[in-house]
Amino acid sequence: MIKRTLIVGNWKMNLSIAQASFLVSKLHKKIAGHRDIEVVLAPHTLALQPVSLQIDRRRFRLAAQNAYYKDEGAYTGEVSFTLLNDIVHYAIIGHSERRVYFNEDLDMIRDKVSACVRNQITPILCVGETSQEWSNGESKQVLHDQIVSALSDLTANEVAGMVIVYEPQWTITTFHGRPAKPDEVKSAVDFIRKQVSELYDDTAAKHLRVLYGGSVDEHSAGSYLRVEGCEGVLVGSASLNYQRFAAIVDSAYRKNRERADSDAKRQD
């Protein structure tokens, strides 16, 4: 089974519509379509519609950064996954900025994951511990609790189709983090798969895509993408610069070529 490497750019609450349009035009010039790489852009909600009309959908897909878990109704100020489902393929759920700044708890995140799936949007579920939890050696317990809760309404088949990102708070630029080391990413990625395998089955664990996010840039992306079992990266600040983001996509391209070459040599 060939899985496409997933490179997600989370623009957060940045860029006016005009700036977003400028960035998209630069990305079009800089990033070619690759069959084995999926490039996903996550503009803020206001920019999703204009960006969706501008992008070449063969090369780029869109993700929502957030939505409300109810499908419709009297929820002033909110946008639902139902309203977004003809615009986006993906939605980022459980990002630590939402957990910390907007008090999104485990139940809210579970309901948003379910709402995504119900509306044929693939959840990109972010999980990860705080720096305090990391120092206390509680990382695995936190990951376990976040995963068990977020997936609790889903079937094995639904879990197999989703994306989980290991994005500990201590690595995110917003929280003045330091990037994780590749061996730290490896141990978290393995742990996430093991959890899914125990909760569901090996097939779900194998099909699910697991990513790393946290201060990824054009220099570090290659080292994360070479971690066995890490199938992409979630990029925040570096995704706002087209040269840096294109260089990250290029790292994925080079890593995939290396892998294809070594597979071909093994078969000779």
Residues labelled catalytic: 95, 167
5 binds ligand PEP (CB under 6 A): no
As measured in angstroms, the least distance from the Cβ of 213 to ligand PEP is 4
Only one of the segments 28-36, 45-53, 232-240, 242-250 lies at the binding site for ligand PEP (rule: CB under 6 A); that segment is: 232-240
Question: Which amino acid, one-letter code, is at 5?
Answer: T
Q: Which of 43, 128, 182, 213 binds ligand PEP (CB under 6 A)?
A: 213
- Which residues 175-204 are close enough to bind ligand PEP by CB under 6 A? none
The H or E element that residue 247 is part of is: helix 242-267
Q: Which of 216, 246, 248, 252 binds ligand PEP (CB under 6 A)?
A: 216
Q: Is the Cβ of residue 174 or residue 187 nearer to ligand PEP in the bound state?
A: 174
Q: How far apart are CA 38 and CA 51, in angstroms?
A: 17
Q: Which of 214, 218, 222, 244 binds ligand PEP (CB under 6 A)?
A: 214
Q: Which of 185, 129, 38 is nearest to 193 (CA)?
A: 185
Q: Is the Cβ of residue 213 or residue 222 nearer to ligand PEP in the bound state?
A: 213
241 binds ligand PEP (CB under 6 A): no
Four-residue CA torsion sign, 61, 129, 253, 160: negative
As measured in angstroms, the least distance from the Cβ of 157 to ligand PEP is 27
Q: Distance of CA 168 to CAs 10, 173, 185, 210, Å?
A: 16, 11, 10, 14
Q: Are 148 and 156 in contact (CB under 8 A)?
A: no
Q: Which of 5, 10, 139, 195 binds ligand PEP (CB under 6 A)?
A: 10
163 binds ligand PEP (CB under 6 A): no
Q: What three-state secondary structure class fits 191?
A: helix
Q: Are 192 and 213 in contact (CB under 8 A)?
A: no
As measured in angstroms, the least distance from the Cβ of 211 to ligand PEP is 10
User: Nearest 5°: CA angle at 190, between 189 and 192?
Assistant: 65
Q: What three-state secondary structure class fits 59?
A: coil
Q: Which of 14, 131, 173, 203 binds ligand PEP (CB under 6 A)?
A: 173
Q: What three-state secondary structure class fits 220?
A: coil
- Using CB under 6 A as the criterion, which residues of the chain lie in contact with ligand PEP when the complex forms? 10, 172-174, 213-216, 234-237
